[in-house]
């Protein structure tokens, strides 16, 4: 039996997060596509072996500085929201392509790409913000100082960018015939209005939630049960059956979850899922933290940094991916989640 060859793929990707950035985002499949010169679709779950973070000094040990890494929630609602959103996006475009006979003009690298949350959508606004940014991979070195960790003396080169545009849907006939609006898609949170000329965003979990009927709850069998009946009386030797039947038929006859608000939507458990965090209380030098492995649906990560002083060395984030059969990476398809 022939062995499956593991294709070459960069497995360690480095990012620098400047101290003035409070929230940063990483799109793993965008970066590996650039580095490997391969088209890797975003619709995969990235398997991460480890994330190593090198932190600059904290101002005071009593307060310290912190860094949190989050990803899409690994839940049923996220999986189904992605699957249905992709199907709707694909159907809308295919219908337009078929109707116009434009099959030969379809973009070669057409792909379904989404944002993690509203902050990720804002970070990609061409106007940009000082505190929310999407990071690009950097090529570290050459190292010009002695020591175990990099410092501000490192010369870095950013990876050359190609085209990686996030997907949009079209809502036709908004307020009148022929008047359309375009929207990006975010997995978590609420819908977002346009920022100036920058299109707004529709929330995927919320959209999926609103597209489905809710279960019938409580269980409708309960009202039809008669407690005083001959079968119960056959074993009545003085015990009270009412309490027992109440426990069997009334308790836990409702859903164990909120039937209207899905996790990851605009009300319930709205934020991405925290995967790892660190607290740095060192006031001298640079400190390294290994945060372990995790999975990142769509390869999207959010990094929140708290209490890092402006003017200090940048934070170095090293993402170590795992080798596997998905064009060199260990990654499952979002549709198989």
Per-residue pLDDT tens listing for the chain (337 residues): 556 678 889 999 999 998 778 899 999 999 999 999 999 999 999 999 999 999 888 878 888 889 999 999 999 999 999 999 999 999 999 988 888 887 888 888 999 999 999 999 999 988 666 688 999 999 887 666 666 555 555 667 778 888 999 999 998 877 677 778 899 999 999 999 998 889 999 999 999 998 887 766 665 555 445 555 554 544 555 555 666 666 677 777 777 877 778 888 888 888 899 999 999 998 888 889 999 999 999 999 999 998 776 666 789 999 999 999 999 999 999 988 8
Q: Would 203 be classed as within a structural domain?
A: no
155 and 236 co-located in one domain: no
pLDDT of the residue at 236: 55
63 contacts 158 by C-beta, under 8 angstroms: no
Q: Name residue 16's beta-bridge partners.
A: 316
pTM over the 0.85 mark: yes
Q: Which of 92, 262, 264, 271 is nearest to 167 (CA)?
A: 92
29 and 80 both lie in a single domain: yes
Point out which residues pair with 45 in neighbouring strands.
297, 332
* Residue 289 domain-assigned (yes or no): yes
**Domains held by the chain: number:** 2
How far apart (Å, rounded) are the C-alpha atoms in residues 172 and 314? 45
> Is there a domain that residue 132 lies in?
yes
271 in the same domain as 248: no
Token pair belonging to 98: 């078929």
Q: Measured between alpha carbons, how far is 65 from 56 in angstroms, rounded to an integer?
A: 9
In a domain, 73, yes or no: yes
Cβ partners under 8 Å of residue 300, min gap 6: 25, 26, 27, 28, 71, 72, 115, 116, 120, 187
pLDDT at 232: 54
Chain Cα centroid distance, residue 70? 8
Instruction: Please check whether residue 23 is in contact with residue 129, taking contact to mean a CB–CB distance below 8 angstroms.
Output: no
> What pLDDT does residue 144 have?
64
Could you tell me if 240 and 315 lie in one domain? no
Residues 6+ apart with CB under 8 A from 337: 45, 74, 78, 79, 82, 297
Q: Are 232 and 158 in the same domain?
A: no
pLDDT of residue 298: 97
Q: Are residues 309 and 250 in the same domain?
A: no
Instruction: Give the C-alpha separation, 330 to 211, whole Å.
Output: 33
**What residue numbers bound the domain in which 127 lies?**
12-96+108-166+263-336
pLDDT for the residue 213: 75
Q: Mark whether 133 and 55 lie in a shared domain.
A: yes
Domain boundary among 227, 254, 281: 254
Residues 6+ apart with CB under 8 A from 170: 92, 180, 181, 182
**Rounded CA gap, 7 and 57, in Å?**
39
By C-alpha distance, which of 41, 70, 59, 60 is closest to 264? 70
Same domain, 235 and 268: no
In order, the DSSP letters of 186-211 are ESSS--B--BTTB-EEEEHHHHHHHT
pLDDT (0 to 100) of residue 159: 82
Q: Retrieve residue 13's tokens.
A: 């990707």
Query: Does residue 157 belong to any structural domain of this protein?
Result: yes
Looking at the domain assignment, is residue 233 inside a domain?
yes
Please report whether residue 78 resides in a domain.
Answer: yes
Q: How is residue 312 annotated by DSSP?
A: S
Q: Are residues 18 and 159 in the same domain?
A: yes
pLDDT at 233: 47
Shared domain for 281 and 332, answered yes or no, is yes
Return phi, psi of residue 132, to 5°.
Answer: -130, 120
Any domain includes 189? no
Q: Are residues 129 and 242 in the same domain?
A: no
Same domain flag for 91 and 235: no
* Domain stop point among 254, 282, 315: 254
Q: Is 240 exposed, middle or buried (0-12, 13-18, 19+ CB in 10 A)?
A: exposed
């Amino acid at each position: 039996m022939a062995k499956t060859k593991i294709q070459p793929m960069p497995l360690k990707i480095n990012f620098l997060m400047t101290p003035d950035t409070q929230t940063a985002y990483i799109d793993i499949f965008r970066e590996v596509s650039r580095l490997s010169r391969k088209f890797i679709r975003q619709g995969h779950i990235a398997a991460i072996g480890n994330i190593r973070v090198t932190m600059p000094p904290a101002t005071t040990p009593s307060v310290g500085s912190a860094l949190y890494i989050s990803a899409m929630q690994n839940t049923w609602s996220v999986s189904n929201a992605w699957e249905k959103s992709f199907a709707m996006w694909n159907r809308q475009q295919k219908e337009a392509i078929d109707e116009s006979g434009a099959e030969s003009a379809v973009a070669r690298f057409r792909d379904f790409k989404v944002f993690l949350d509203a902050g990720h959508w804002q970070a990609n606004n061409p106007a940009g913000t000082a505190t929310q940014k999407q990071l690009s991979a950097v090529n570290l070195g050459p190292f010009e100082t002695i020591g175990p960790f990099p410092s501000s003396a490192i010369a870095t080169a950013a990876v050359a960018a190609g085209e990686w545009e996030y997907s949009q849907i079209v809502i036709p006939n908004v307020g009148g015939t022929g008047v359309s609006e375009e929207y990006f898609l975010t997995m978590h949170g609420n819908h977002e209005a346009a920022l100036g000329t920058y299109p707004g965003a529709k929330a995927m979990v919320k959209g999926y939630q609103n597209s489905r009927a809710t279960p019938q709850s409580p269980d409708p069998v309960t009202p039809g049960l008669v407690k005083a009946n001959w079968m119960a009386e056959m074993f009545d030797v003085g015990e009270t059956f009412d309490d027992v039947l109440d426990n069997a038929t009334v308790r836990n006859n409702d859903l164990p979850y909120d039937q209207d608000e899905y996790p990851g939507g605009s009300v319930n458990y709205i934020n991405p899922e925290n995967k790892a965090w660190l607290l740095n209380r060192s006031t001298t030098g640079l400190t390294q933290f290994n945060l372990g492995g995790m999975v990142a649906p769509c390869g999207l990560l959010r990094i929140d940094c708290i209490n890092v002083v402006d003017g200090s060395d940048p934070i170095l984030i090293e993402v170590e991916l795992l080798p596997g059969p998905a064009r060199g990476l260990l990654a499952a398809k979002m549709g198989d989640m």
